[in-house]
Structure 1
Amino acid sequence: MNSSRVALCACVLLLLGGCPQEGAPDTPRGRVEGQVAGPGVLQGDAYVFLFAPGEGPPQGPAIPRYVTAVSSLRLEAGDSRYRFSEVLPGPYRLWGFLDANGDADLSVDVLAQPGAGDWSPEAGGEVEVAAGEAVEQELTLARRMRHGPPAFRVAGEGTDGGVVTLEDAPLSLVSLSVEADGLGLLRGEEARFFVRLRDGDGDGDGDDLNGDGVPELFPQFFLRFVPRPGQAVPRESDGGVSQVIVPLLINPLPFVSVLQGDVTREASAESLQLFVVPQAQVVSVAPDGGQALTPLGAIPVGEYQLWALSAEGAFWYVPNVLGDRDSEALRSQALRFRIVRSDSRDGGG
């Protein structure tokens, strides 16, 4: 399967500050250390992560096993060395980023990622930690993010902290309008949607994520099912819970003349019209280790999050923890989404 399908699947775990893995008290630990390197003088705070093998950016957001940082004060003094102590033996994936604009916040789900002007590696590095030994590995930050996360709010009356109710079998086309909004929290550029075709495999053509012969526009939007206790969800072969999404499509008409099918072109917009595709899909692990999409016979009823994923892999979703803050300006981030049976409208709280 095309690896670009990661965009649609969206990797629903967050880049939050992970905790060291638990192990037997007498298990010998190892260390991982090295220099954070980048173009010229590094300015900002550098965050460094150890993920499980195959997890984490640019494959997608994931929960790191270990987290450390190199402060801007240390970097300015010429000390760019990072260190993970007390690491359980085993394989890991090393990744990190430089927060050049000072707007990253690892305590906030959607802000725990690089933004416009920040630096990250071209790819993560594989690390094997042995008991009682130290591993030396440089983290080279060579890729600069052009744009920040696709932060947004849903337009319309009653969408600030309320509930959007959709039917599982709508009788007509359902659309939502979203507006770019950095909420005063993101720096480096004006809040906009940057619309483009993505060429993840470098063949010069836009990625066709769903195999219908038509390349999709980014950012990608979808509703992600958030099952409550007792709700049945598909299971992975290893017993883990599969992810269920309902795709949304961007209205392409405002962008056709600008993009002209060229993967090197980009358009910006303050707002987007999204159409709900009435087809739930299960996101699971394919035999080749990639991700597979399998249609479901019915859309599960219940709570959902609305996700956006940019061509660079930056993400945003609503509701998020910003909506829990005591600020009227952030009430839009508390908006909830609910899918109900078509014969039973229930917009409950």
Structure 2
Amino acid sequence: MNSSRLLLLACLLVLSGCPEQAGPGKPSGRVEGQVQGPTALRGDAYVFLFAPGEEPPNGPAAPRHVTAVPELRWASGDSRYLFAEVLPGPYRLWGFLDANGDVDLSVDVLAQPGAGDWRPEAAVALDVPVSGRVEQELALTRRMRHGPPAFRVTGEGTDGGVVSVPDSPLALTSLTVEADGLGLLRGEEIRFFVHLLDSDGDGNADDLNGDGLPELFPQFFLRFVPRPGQTGAEDGGGSSIIVPLVLNPLPFVAVLQGDVTREAAAASVQLFVVPQAQAVSVGTDGGQVLTPLAAIPVGEYQLWALTAEGAFWYVPNVLGHRDSESLRSQSLRFQIVRGGSPDAENPAR
């Protein structure tokens, strides 16, 4: 995975959407083939067609088409998939095998591969001709080590359902997040797996943003959710806007010792808000561009967690809308308010 694009992916990735369907009077082709993976495993395999540049892990990921190979067929040796009516043009083919049975494509944070699941090394480029047929194998060769970094926020300021964070650069705001799979994730003990990033495999920790500090994963940030009429960015709203959070490294220094091969498991981590908003966009070379903003947009935010494998979690999410006491933590909202304003309810500490 191209780690320089992880943050952009997390800002934009949603495994849902409205596929552009072919229909009567429209020319269409078909895409079919075999899903190849470890034969000893069982599970449902999901297959997606994305527009170019929108496939994981390179950017926005709203699939144009979705299909599946059910576990019953996979177990019988029949792993063939089919997209019967596809508008002509270029696409990217991607998918994964849900080995643990915890994927739910109707739930935003559960619509992704988790611990023990299998996915391809990269998406496969293909071109669907008019009234033609494309035969393409999808090889699932990479096993996910860890699942989504599911969490809930604890501590002072969370009881009211809204955490308010002042935008003042003089305010030191911290959040405590606890790993919590909510009984929905399988395959491993739910923990944060803290480690240094070495994306190029040279044995040295990476410094992706050039701040002189090695990148520590998982990464956390607040993502601006604009209301109608809001943009918050100088480019008129063409970028996603984030406010970074720094993970307190002190509890992990003795375990990691600067070694990129080491990993520390943690039940909870402490985060500090960096009072500097950034616009995240795609550069001409396809890489990530971070542009500092003059001010932090006031309004609603989501709290995101992202692993080096590209697994993610954010709050609030759709699980918080379910009528379950155990999922109430997933409806917690985040607001950035003007520092010191009287309407700053439930400020975090």
Report if TM-score (shorter chain) is over 0.5: yes
Question: Structure 2 stretches of 5 or more lacking a match?
Answer: none
Amino acid across the alignment from 1:151: A
Asked whether 1:67 is paired with 2:66, we answer: yes
Asked whether the 8 Å contact 2:303–2:316 carries over to 1, the reply is yes
How far residue 19 of structure 1 moved from its aligned partner, in angstroms, is 3.2
Residues 305-314 or 196-205, more deviating: 196-205
| SS in structure 2 at match of 1:12 | helix
Who is 2:192 aligned against? 193
Amino acid across the alignment from 1:38: G
How far residue 240 of structure 1 moved from its aligned partner, in angstroms, is 6.5
CA distance in 1, matches of 2:283, 2:23: 33
Asked whether 1:17 is paired with 2:16, we answer: yes
| SS in structure 2 at match of 1:255 | helix
Distance 1:235 1:169, change over 3 A: closer
CA distance in 2, matches of 1:277, 1:153: 20
| SS in structure 1 at match of 2:3 | helix
CA distance in 1, matches of 2:296, 2:192: 28
| SS in structure 1 at match of 2:326 | helix
How far residue 149 of structure 1 moved from its aligned partner, in angstroms, is 0.2
Distance 1:27 1:56, change over 3 A: same
How far residue 262 of structure 1 moved from its aligned partner, in angstroms, is 1.5
CA distance in 2, matches of 1:312, 1:60: 14
| SS in structure 1 at match of 2:11 | coil
Who is 1:144 aligned against? 143
How far residue 175 of structure 1 moved from its aligned partner, in angstroms, is 0.7
Matches within 5 A, 1:41-56: 41-56=40-55
How far residue 246 of structure 1 moved from its aligned partner, in angstroms, is 0.1
Give the one of 277, 286, 297 matched to 2:283.
Answer: 286
How far residue 205 of structure 1 moved from its aligned partner, in angstroms, is 2.0
| SS in structure 2 at match of 1:62 | coil
Distance 1:325 1:62, change over 3 A: same
Who is 1:167 aligned against? 166
Give the one of 241, 252, 255 matched to 1:255.
Answer: 252
Who is 1:272 aligned against? 269
How far residue 22 of structure 1 moved from its aligned partner, in angstroms, is 4.7
Amino acid across the alignment from 1:323: G
Deviations 1:8-67 (A, max 9, x none): 334323433333315685231011110000123341000000111122223356111110
Who is 2:318 aligned against? 321
Distance 1:118 1:150, change over 3 A: same
How far residue 127 of structure 1 moved from its aligned partner, in angstroms, is 0.9
RMSD over equivalenced CA pairs, Å: 2.0
Distance 1:265 1:59, change over 3 A: farther
Deviations 1:285-344 (A, max 9, x none): 112121100000100000000000011110000000000000000000000000011142
CA distance in 2, matches of 1:254, 1:348: 30
CA distance in 2, matches of 1:345, 1:196: 40
Who is 1:78 aligned against? 77
Who is 2:335 aligned against? 338
Asked whether the 8 Å contact 2:194–2:265 carries over to 1, the reply is yes
Asked whether the 8 Å contact 1:161–1:334 carries over to 2, the reply is no
Distance 1:75 1:5, change over 3 A: same
Distance 1:37 1:160, change over 3 A: farther
Amino acid across the alignment from 2:337: V
Asked whether the 8 Å contact 2:2–2:57 carries over to 1, the reply is no
How far residue 209 of structure 1 moved from its aligned partner, in angstroms, is 2.3
TM-score, length basis structure 1: 0.94
Asked whether the 8 Å contact 1:15–1:106 carries over to 2, the reply is no
Amino acid across the alignment from 1:333: Q
Asked whether the 8 Å contact 1:160–1:331 carries over to 2, the reply is no
CA distance in 1, matches of 2:13, 2:160: 22
| SS in structure 1 at match of 2:343 | coil
Matches within 5 A, 1:21-36: 21-22=20-21, 25-36=24-35
State the percentage of identical aligned residues: 73
Question: Structure 1 stretches of 5 or more lacking a match?
Answer: none
Residues 196-205 or 114-123, more deviating: 196-205
Asked whether 1:213 is paired with 2:218, we answer: no
Amino acid across the alignment from 1:56: E
Number of residue pairs the alignment of both structures matches: 346
